[in-house]
Chain A
Amino acid sequence: EIVLTQSPDTLSLSPGERATLSCRASQSVTSNYLAWYQHKPGQAPRLLIFGASIRATDIPDRFSGSGSGTDFTLTITRLEPEDFAVYYCQQYGSSRTFGQGTKVEIK
């Protein structure tokens, strides 16, 4: 089973700043089948990115994904107040697993 390790565990930033989240896989992710989700308390998770870099429907372009193989990145160019949440990566190429999450909190 592929293990996904996200870093950092917590990112403390101010609105308007850039957020860079990392997701590292224990082995290469098949066909870059890597997704990113945003999860806020009391809400269902929301798909942001799939295929490592493709934005899901209605996702603002301040969210972008990159990477391949074992190293992937989610970048939020300018944090809006509504972007403070927990972010998870998920690989769906070999079985399916989630990373442990990165919390983006207001500094």
Chain B
Amino acid sequence: EVQLVQSGAEVKKPGESLKISCKGSGYRFTNYWIGWVRQMPGKGLEWMGIIYPGDSDTRYSPSFQGQVTISADKSISTAYLQWSSLKASDTAIYYCARHPSGYDRSPFESWGQGTLVTVSS
């Protein structure tokens, strides 16, 4: 069974850095694109970007390029979403999700449980 387990909720101050994680199991981690989706409070879903853990090929939404960093450590089957300097507007639930194949033009088939990030002074 494919499982994506995300790290726990975070409360941070503006300007702080943060790295949240998503551990995959039940499949060959290196062979499937995995990505991140944001949901701000009371808002809809936003596609942020994806990474292919096999070679770290990464694609970002123009809206998130330069604002976050997506990475993966294939040795521990874990993907990451990272901020160097958080803003209050980064407050949101962040979902990781996996493509159903190694093809980059795919929907998200399997999802993590979400990580709530709260940024407040």
Contact = CB atoms under 8 A, between A and B. Distances in A.
Q: Do A and B bind each other?
A: yes
Interface of A: 1, 30-31, 33, 35, 37, 39, 44-47, 50, 56, 86, 88, 90, 92-93, 95-101
Contacts of B113: 44
A92 B46 contact: no
A39 to B, nearest CB: 7
B111 A44 contact: yes
Interface of B: 37, 44-47, 61-62, 95, 97, 105-109, 111-114
A98 B111 contact: no
Nearest to A56: B109
23 contacts: A33-B105, A35-B108, A39-B45, A44-B95, A44-B111, A44-B113, A44-B114, A45-B97, A45-B108, A47-B109, A50-B106, A50-B107, A88-B44, A90-B107, A92-B106, A95-B61, A95-B62, A97-B47, A98-B37, A98-B45, A98-B47, A100-B44, A101-B45
Contacts of B107: 35, 37, 47, 50, 90, 92
Contact of B111 (A45, A90, A95, A99): A45
Contacts of A97: 47, 61
Contacts of A56: 109
Contacts of B45: 37, 39, 45, 88, 90, 98, 101
